[in-house]
Chains A and B, each alone.
Chain A
């Protein structure tokens, strides 16, 4: 911490005009018309009761201002949803995750703060702006909480950006402390970032080791968890419930790690005023804790196979119940679990934790012993609904795997039965796949799941035969199809499995769902694709199998085995062929998916009082039409297929408003749009051009009597927040 430089409060503007924090009536933890949580409110509804912008005037929205985040540094794609509270807009930006406050009317920067994290930033597994911030006020004081890529947590005065001296050490809590793992001086042997998943890591510094400023290697004085335990990170903001900051962690990507152990997930509670750590909840239960027996080879930190189960997504809370709801990611190694036999609690679960005590109230594991990268990717949506005449305090958890799991959020009782169902078993040596998975009987899924013969196009017998031939090239099934081994252990010669939804969902963190609390509708944005999956031996990894990869020669990898040939494994990034086998080529750059077009992906509206689908819309309101005049498809009227991308949605009094996301159609400059849909019917009622595609879910607020819509867009040095408003009269 000694080397940390606080570049605080570089800009302090309009102090005399600052609004005063007021004690106002909170609805779901939020002041109506504001946006105090990443998900809009503590329930993650992404709902605003505002109606100034409506179907009649949506198309007249114009850009009020654009805040060029890229002026302060580069980023990946800008994945932040800002907050609005008490007259200010708060955001994060750049790979350094600077925090900033903006004037909501002009976009002027009011203050800015960032931390110099040295090697901890250089080797942060999630080196980007992150999803956003957290806000807290007691009516007199206002705080903005930011968790950095290097895993520090700062409490900033919302008026000035100055760290609160009463919080932690000079306003900052080092989140690497208090986890039971020793902190050491860190060093690096290269000047680049960590690479996927865990090669080119930092290491413990040697005694007396210093920093080479020319080569940018050595020890720069940064302190962090001993890298022999692995890496820890942060992607999403904390959530503040009843004066407790609830914060978790992220981890390395699980695609193709080389080490069979890494740091697990933790959830901790901190006092919002002092930063004092109040409690810790282990997302991999340690020996003696409930659930430890679900790790048959041991669950202790440092044991083989132990790692991750990190709750990297955002969280939800019910302040009245005093519960915070944690969507938990998967255990270490996305597609092979042979080093971690067992169900692997709390992986792929939603866990309800008492914010006062840190104790588990209930949990539900949605995927046992995950080998599909089905992290729980999104804050659950809380909603009050009436099911069969009974009022229910519900929690709806959207997932990568295409189902919504719905519970009584006080007790964890499923609203509709969720049935343990036998599933296909793995053929990969050493893999002990779980015999059953819990399948919701309701609501119906929103994405393609698995691949079966009835899913294939059958416009003509010849087309069906062609599709079937492609389909049979990989292992088929209804869902949860284990990856096939890409070696001689593959039965029937099948060296791939169909993979739907894929690793990106279904639902994922870029999209997700929005609730209409007035009607009990849930709007779910999702992908619906079809790809393939397989595992093989990385010659320089400790894992017996992983996603196809060759990590040989990289810092942190094992030495190459005798007879090793570079590049023998193929192109080298593990996703080759994941989808190219699912399409029939029909002409220059033209392919027809072997899947029958169905109303999946895009945006699905559910009436959660009944669990039934209410309506469906493709992302961008667009259904590409393909016409082929020759060959197999000559004379065939090919059905329209939903377009790509993950919609990014919020709901207002009358509208569902969304952007197409970074992969949506209409992405060329001048063509990107923000859309408005009648939330009751699903009919598109507006579309307005925006500078470029949304890259995160938009938000809205009322400021000085005017409704604004703000969203993030861009990547690299072209990131910005864009504010829309109606024209001045």
Chain B
């Protein structure tokens, strides 16, 4: 189990990431290819093994989900998952597994992959906004 140099966001409020959400200084959009397809595939495996028994993927790309997370940072999403999930044993996954799940959630929300994995560093994750992209309407030929 690889330990990554993540700087923990020690949020003890029960609403967790809600208190650390907005980050006006975040400079990158989650829609700019911030994760890799390989990472999202790993994240899907973790999701199916650890999350799917209580969540369905559709729920993590729902209007409600997006209304909560849109505009907040990936650091907040990562920290929320790490501190709250899985419900029976929060914090029991590796840092890499939590990060991979974040990338899978980005894929669920139709954000395109790029060349590299998400940065394994909370400070760097603070610079990335969860930003919903307008879904292009495909015109019939």
Residues on A lying within 8 angstroms of B by beta carbon are: 74-77, 192-193, 195-196, 200, 253, 255, 470, 495-496, 502-505, 508, 527, 529, 531-532, 534, 550, 552-554, 566-567, 570-573, 575-581, 583, 585, 587-591, 644-645, 662-663, 665-668, 671, 695, 714-716, 718
Contact = CB atoms under 8 A, between A and B. Distances in A.
16 contacts: A77-B49, A196-B55, A503-B87, A531-B88, A571-B18, A572-B64, A577-B15, A580-B11, A580-B12, A581-B12, A585-B12, A589-B95, A644-B92, A645-B92, A663-B93, A668-B94
Contacts of B93: 663
A77 B16 contact: no
B67 to A, nearest CB: 4
A697 B59 CA distance: 30
Contacts of A495: 14
B63 interface: yes
Contact of A591 (B2, B14, B91): B91
Nearest to A200: B58
Given A496-B14, A644-B92, A566 B49 contact: no
Interface of B is mostly: loop
Nearest to A195: B56
Most chain A beta carbons < 10 A, residue from B17, B50, B55, B67: B67
Interface stretch (B28-36, B77-85, B110-118, B133-141): B77-85
A94 to B, nearest CB: 12
Contacts, number: 155
Most chain B beta carbons < 10 A, residue from A195, A200, A504, A573: A573
B51 to A, nearest CB: 9
Given A589-B6, A589-B8, A645-B92, A76 B52 contact: yes
B49 A580 contact: no
Nearest to A549: B64
Question: Ordered nearest first, which 8 A-B pairs have the shortest CB separation?
Answer: A504-B88, A577-B14, A585-B10, A715-B49, A580-B83, A644-B92, A575-B87, A579-B90
Contacts of A589: 3, 6, 8, 95
A550 B14 contact: no
Nearest to B79: A580
Contacts of B48: 74-77, 715-716
A495 B18 CA distance: 17
Interface string B57-85: 01100111101110000000000100111
A566 B10 CA distance: 27
Nearest to B46: A715
Contact of A192 (B3, B8, B12, B58): B58
Nearest to A75: B48
A578 B10 contact: no
Contacts of B85: 575
Given A531-B90, A566-B67, A587 B54 contact: no
Contact of B67 (A567, A575, A585): A567
B89 A645 contact: yes
Contact of B1 (A75, A566, A576, A671): A671
Contacts of A666: 1
A77 to B, nearest CB: 4
Given A571-B80, A588-B6, A502 B45 contact: no
Most chain B beta carbons < 10 A, residue from A495, A567, A583, A591: A567
A403 B94 CA distance: 30
Interface residues of B, number: 49
B24 interface: no
Contacts of A663: 50, 86, 88-89, 92-93
Given A577-B15, A580-B83, A588 B5 contact: yes
B87 A580 contact: no
Contact of A196 (B56, B64, B92, B95): B56
Contacts of B101: none
B67 A576 contact: no
Given A567-B67, A570-B18, A644-B92, A576 B80 contact: yes
Most chain B beta carbons < 10 A, residue from A527, A531, A571, A583: A571
Nearest to B44: A716
A531 B84 CA distance: 9
B95 A550 contact: no
B14 A668 contact: no
A523 to B, nearest CB: 21
Most chain A beta carbons < 10 A, residue from B2, B17, B88: B88
Contacts of A253: 54
Contacts of A718: 45
Contact of A576 (B14, B53, B91, B95): B14
Contacts of A662: 49-50
Nearest to B96: A668
B89 A527 contact: yes
B88 to A, nearest CB: 3
A73 to B, nearest CB: 12
Given A577-B83, A587-B8, A671-B1, 9 more contacts: A572-B68, A573-B55, A577-B13, A579-B90, A588-B7, A591-B91, A663-B89, A715-B52, A716-B48
Interface in B92-136: 92-95
Contacts of A576: 14-16, 80, 84
A504 B49 contact: no
A722 to B, nearest CB: 16
B63 A580 contact: no
Given A571-B15, A588-B7, A255 B49 contact: no
A550 B49 contact: no
B8 A590 contact: yes
Given A195-B58, A589-B8, A532 B88 contact: no
A695 B91 contact: no
Contacts of B63: 553, 566
Most chain B beta carbons < 10 A, residue from A588, A589, A668: A589
A577 B84 CA distance: 6
A580 B89 contact: no
A666 B85 CA distance: 19
B88 A529 contact: yes
A618 to B, nearest CB: 14
Contacts of A75: 48
B59 A578 contact: no
Contacts of B14: 495-496, 532, 534, 576-577, 580-581
B74 to A, nearest CB: 14
